[in-house]
Amino acid sequence: MTDIRIRFDGISKWYGSLCVVDNLDLDIAKGQFVSLLGPSGSGKTTLLMMLAGFETPTKGRVLVDGEPVDHLPTYRRDMGVVFQSYALFPHMSVGENIAFPLQMRGVGAAEIGERVARALDMVQLSAMRDRRPSQLSGGQQQRVALARALVFEPRVVLMDEPLGALDKQLREQMQLDIRALHNRLGLTIVFVTHDQSEALTMSDRIAVLNKGKIEQIGTPREIYDEPHTRFVAEFIGETNLAEGTVESVAGAEARIALKRGGHVIAGLSGKVAAGQDVLLSIRPERIELKDGTVATGNSIAARVADCVYQGDHLRVQLDGSAHGFIVRLDRKSREWQPGAEVVAEFRPADCRVIAP
């Protein structure tokens, strides 16, 4: 109990007749990096705003360290916030921007000087202290925003798509920098993104949001390897889907009759019963190709439609007889000719049953 830092307890948010967050429960442990991942409009920002105190839940409570915070204004919630737009004060220098939250909290001048210097050092901007935000690059401005959110050592840091405006290279560098800061300072971070690879890179846990509900929450590995729903399987990474019917269940595996013919053994995340229609999700890189026309073991027979060398991997498109699967092979694999007859093999654990 004591290690739960943040609890969303039955939170709903309505704007008029529009339900944006739908009776949502979520616990975030102390020191954890949790991403809220979902498409645009899924309610991520609204959820973060309710945690920060910029929005009020229609129903439910937000608790921090076991205490309801709904009556507290933002500045008394002890949270650092970083938005996509840097929202720096343009008329203040970098140093003054970072000092601002400390002045608001009545910290003495000497201590402010020390803490600002440390925060600048942390984001490697000590040399920029006297510049105006307009004299900095986008990445530098975002690092100032980060320093300003961290300088008062808040118990929680909230970030809403903070890297969205940066180009790819800088974004990837900042992802690692923020991750390193998180590890070094033991921060509790709630990080909003619609970018699945960003969430996979940075998070201890990912909560996948869809239409104001959490579809699935888990470690990046759980979310990627064992998606529970079609939405999660398709939103995180690329996947192949196949329709089938459950024939029998044994422990955490089921034998599935494929709609397009053949049988496979598939891994279960939830409960299914014999006779039930299901979807299978198989990641492209979990499939191997062999010569042949007969599917034995856990496999599907198919023809190659296309094979493209992509530098770091080979991408093979199978034809309709194998549900049009995409296969991602190691770059050193042999090339497959269009029309070649192949058997596509995969492990039961890599072939996941998801409810239809």
Would you tell me which residues interact with Mg ion (CB under 5 A)?
45
* Minimum distance, C-beta of residue 45 to Mg ion, in the bound complex (Å): 3
In the complex, the smallest distance separating the C-beta of residue 41 from Mg ion, rounded to whole angstroms, is: 8
> In whole angstroms, how close is the CB of 106 to ligand ADP at the nearest point?
32
Q: In angstroms, how far is the first alpha carbon of the chain from the final one?
A: 36
Cα angle: 148, vertex 154, 155; to 5 degrees = 150
Task: Evaluate whether 142 touches 166 at the Cβ level (below 8 Å).
Answer: yes
The least distance separating ligand ADP from the CB of residue 238, rounded to whole angstroms, comes to 22
3-state SS assignment for residue 6: strand
User: Nearer Cβ to Mg ion, position 37 or 136?
Assistant: 37
User: Considering beta carbons, is residue 58 or 321 the nearer one to ligand ADP?
Assistant: 58
Nearest-approach distance from CB 352 to Mg ion, in angstroms: 29
Nearest to 142 by CA among 121, 130, 159: 159
Spatial CA neighbour of 352 closest among 257, 226, 243: 226
Which positions ≥6 away from 229 have C-beta within 8 Å? 215, 216, 354, 355
Q: Strand (E) positions, the chain?
A: 4-15, 18-29, 33-37, 59-64, 67-68, 79-82, 156-160, 188-193, 205-210, 213-218, 240-250, 253-258, 263-268, 277-282, 288-291, 299-309, 313-318, 326-330, 341-345, 351-354
Nearest distance from residue 12's CB to ligand ADP, in Å? Answer: 12
Return the number of the residue (165 or 349) whose C-beta is nearest Mg ion: 165
Q: Burial code of 33-47, b = ≥16 C-beta within 10 A, e = fewer?
A: bbbbbbeeebbbbbb
Q: Which does 110 bind (CB under 5 to 8 A by kind): ligand ADP, Mg ion, none?
A: none
Kindly tell me which of 46 and 216 has the beta carbon lying closer to ligand ADP.
46
- Residue 169 burial (C-beta neighbours within 10 Å; 0-12, 13-18, 19+): exposed
Of these partners, Mg ion, ligand ADP, none, which one is at the site of residue 229 (CB under 5 to 8 Å by kind)?
none
The residue (of 49 and 241) whose beta carbon lies closer to ligand ADP is 49
262's contact among Mg ion, ligand ADP, none, with CB below 5 to 8 A by partner kind, is none
Interacting partner of 337 out of Mg ion, ligand ADP, none (Cβ under 5 to 8 A depending on kind): none
Residue ranges that bind ligand ADP, judged by CB under 6 A: 15, 18, 20, 38, 40-46
Cα–Cα distance between 196 and 11 in angstroms, integer? 24
Nearer to ligand ADP, 44 or 148 (CB): 44
Out of Mg ion, ligand ADP, none, what residue 46 binds, judged by CB under 5 to 8 A for its kind, is ligand ADP
Report the partner that residue 15 touches, choosing among ligand ADP, Mg ion, none (CB closer than 5 to 8 A by kind): ligand ADP
Cα–Cα distance for residue pair 203/219, rounded to 1 Å: 8
Beta carbon nearer to ligand ADP, 84 or 276 = 84
**Cα 196 from chain centroid (whole Å):** 5
Minimum CB separation of residue 40 from ligand ADP in Å reads 4
267 binds, among Mg ion, ligand ADP, none (CB under 5 to 8 A by kind): none
Which entry of ligand ADP, Mg ion, none binds 283, CB below 5 to 8 A by partner kind? none
Closer to Mg ion by Cβ: residue 192 or 268 = 192
Main-chain dihedrals φ then ψ at residue 101, nearest 5 degrees: -60, -30
Q: How far is the CB of 38 from ligand ADP (least distance, A)?
A: 6
